[in-house]
Amino acid sequence: MKSHLRKEMKRVLNLISEEQHEAHSTSIANALYETCLWKEARVIAATVSRNKEVNTKVIIERAWKDGKKVAVPKCNPTTSQMFFYEITNFSQLETVYYGLAEPIVEETVPVSKSSIDLLLVPGVVYSKNGYRIGYGGGYYDRYLTDYTGQKLSLAFDCQVVSEVPYESHDIPVEYILTEKELICCESV
Extract the annotated binding site: 2-6, 48, 53, 132-140
Kind plus residue range of the DSSP H or E element containing 151: strand 150-154
CB distance 74 to 105 below 8 Å: yes
Q: Which positions make up the binding site for substrate?
A: 48, 53
Residue 156 amino acid letter = F
Give the integer Cα–Cα distance in Å for 175 and 169: 19
Taking each helix axis from N to C end, the angle separating 57-65 and 18-33, rounded to the nearest 10 degrees, works out to 30
Enumerate the known binding-site residues for ATP: 2-6, 132-140
Residues 6+ apart with CB under 8 A from 22: 55
Alpha helical stretches, state H, the chain: 2-14, 18-33, 36-40, 57-65, 139-144
Q: Computed over its alpha carbons, how large is the radius of gyration of the chain?
A: 15
Q: Which residues pair with 50 in a beta bridge?
A: none
